Chain A
């Protein structure tokens, strides 16, 4: 599934971040040969740069600020992040405190989401289900971004055999359909916790990000400011880290946002197929799996975890979309 966005990115012809931002302000320790580069991280963090809102990032921020979809998705993600970090804030109950007498009771005013088959308060279970899902999404994305940064930058900058090695390895991993590969890999583990699932998904999912990074490094590599830096005697490491990476990283970050959503969805699918997280872990996928054979008699068991899962995935996807649009100069 992850391949689609890469195709789209490729079809746009030009990665948004590869376009060099307008000349910087020189407010920080910017050397004259690296216009734009030094202002870039600052621009991402702060929005306006020294009263000259002309850089790509500050334009993008100005654009984003006016978009209701941005605020909607960002605030839902923030909410779910708080839920994942401190579920106790949202429910006073223990998710493992269940009473079989309450089994599959319907939603009521005291218990909005009703009870599950074991008689656990379903609202509490759904709230506690956020943490594993979101941690896997974020863990996998962080690990994949690190792999993509290193491999993509090396392959794109040095080319030659490094590029061949990285690209062919990516091809090998891309040859395995994502879901199929994840099922095969995960089935090899008898005990599957958050880390095992996260590692398996990273092994199978880093390629798209690495390819994206590689192509945007290749685009940045031939820019004039890189030649200028090289003419002034900057080392490869310095050129790569100080000049190329800041200009090439934007598409990676944008796509990483979308990746979080894709991974959360994949984790739920795997748990649903019984090869992801295992009981007694609490996860939306497991809840949906539990509810699948009762969807006629007790639809609420299927509805609530599906709703939270879908809204979370949707928010990450929408956020990625609006941020990409904001950073894509072709759409201006």
Chain B
């Protein structure tokens, strides 16, 4: 196991550099000129442009820019935005909000997803099973912004009118995160329910379940202690992949519900051609993503002794 983790960590290094290089390439070889974007319609004097280009190293060859950026990054310097703010400052302001949103989404996803999956998996072919199948297929097929608008329009507005839940922003404490969390969770929730369902109903036919039933154990114990614990193992792998989906979904969800988190920050950064902001956030996201994938793979082996990596 230790050797496996070490090997994975080593493999992560080229992947990390490759991925950040790609992002850096896409961001900093933009045809658009960030300095001009900074001044909008007005044309600044050439000296000002030169000074700014000099300050941000925009005239260096691409590979030099990348090298400089990376070496600064490892010293904890994420660079400054074109407005002169420290990228880490911007990040530390947006993180807590996005993390709250992600936690809300994750909780909703796990609770509803697993319950729906278990109900469907226990009675294949029943009404609940079909309901879960149909609704998850629909949710998976709907683009997340369509789900977002549907929820905001059909559920958010009436609730906001009655003062139950705020329909946008983060001014209302934890209540502000309920609807966006629900939207953000929707797609993953559907996949989770389906995976739980198929995994559970497959395991219900296995020998150890028959043995447990034959021993005279009550059904609740057979299902919860024996079947469910085994069925949730593949679910763990899904949760790791989820993180990437949550990141992508956050961009859309935070835009729709007007939440000043990482997703909206990075999207605005991209649109304003804030290169260092975009690369900074993306680098952090990529790191999280890589470590989460590793964690899931390790967890998978720990939970299921049949899986051995070495």
Contact = CB atoms under 8 A, between A and B. Distances in A.
Interface of A: 1, 3-4, 7-8, 11, 168-169, 171-173, 175-181, 183-185, 187-190, 261, 265-266, 268-269, 272-275, 288, 292, 295-296, 299, 302, 306, 309-310, 313-314, 317-318, 321
B281 to A, nearest CB: 9
A309 B143 contact: yes
A178 B271 contact: no
26 contacts: A11-B195, A168-B18, A173-B22, A176-B282, A176-B286, A177-B247, A177-B289, A178-B248, A179-B249, A180-B247, A180-B266, A183-B270, A188-B31, A188-B32, A190-B31, A268-B145, A272-B252, A273-B255, A292-B149, A295-B152, A299-B153, A302-B153, A306-B146, A314-B137, A317-B140, A321-B137
A313 B26 contact: no
Nearest to B150: A306
Given A184-B23, A275-B270, A179 B141 contact: no
B16 interface: yes
Given A4-B241, A180-B247, A314 B27 contact: no
Given A180-B285, A269-B252, A296-B157, A172 B271 contact: no
Contacts of B152: 295
B137 A180 contact: no
Nearest to A200: B26
Nearest to A182: B248
B292 to A, nearest CB: 11
Contact of A314 (B14, B138, B241, B247): B138
Which of A172, A288, A296, A302 has most chain B Cβ within 10 Å?
A172
Nearest to B17: A172
A7 B141 contact: no
Contacts of B14: 168, 172
Contacts of A313: 141-143
Interface string B297-310: 00000000000000
Contacts of B199: 11
A3 B29 contact: no
Contacts of B11: 168, 171
Contacts of B157: 296
B137 A309 contact: no
A179 B142 contact: no
Contact of B141 (A168, A171, A272, A314): A314
A11 B289 CA distance: 21
Nearest to A284: B143
Contacts of A176: 19, 22-23, 282, 286
Contacts of A187: 30, 270-271, 273
A4 B146 contact: no
Which of B26, B27, B252 has most chain A Cβ within 10 Å?
B26
Contacts of B29: 188
Given A171-B18, A175-B289, A296-B153, 12 more contacts: A4-B191, A168-B14, A173-B22, A176-B23, A177-B289, A179-B248, A180-B251, A188-B27, A296-B157, A306-B146, A309-B146, A313-B142
Given A4-B191, A7-B238, A274-B271, A310 B143 contact: yes
A68 to B, nearest CB: 13
B267 interface: yes
Nearest to B188: A4
Contacts of B238: 4, 7
- Name the 5 nearest CB pairs between A and B, nearest first: A179-B248, A172-B18, A175-B19, A314-B141, A265-B143
A260 to B, nearest CB: 12
Nearest to A178: B248
B286 A184 contact: no
B249 to A, nearest CB: 8
Interface string B1-42: 000000000010011101100110011011110000000000
A172 B146 contact: no
Contact of A184 (B140, B141, B247, B270): B270
Contact of A183 (B137, B191, B249, B267): B267
A175 B255 contact: no
Nearest to A268: B143
Nearest to B256: A292
B146 A168 contact: no
B278 interface: yes
Contacts of A180: 247-248, 251, 266, 282, 285
B240 to A, nearest CB: 9
A190 B16 CA distance: 28
A288 B138 contact: no
A242 B138 CA distance: 39
Contact of A3 (B142, B145, B244): B244
B169 interface: no
B144 interface: yes
A265 B244 contact: no
A16 B187 CA distance: 25
Contact of A288 (B15, B146, B248): B146
A318 B244 CA distance: 24
Nearest to B145: A272
Contacts of B142: 265, 310, 313-314
Contacts of A314: 137-138, 141-142
Contacts of B15: 168, 171-172, 175
Contact of B248 (A1, A169, A173): A1
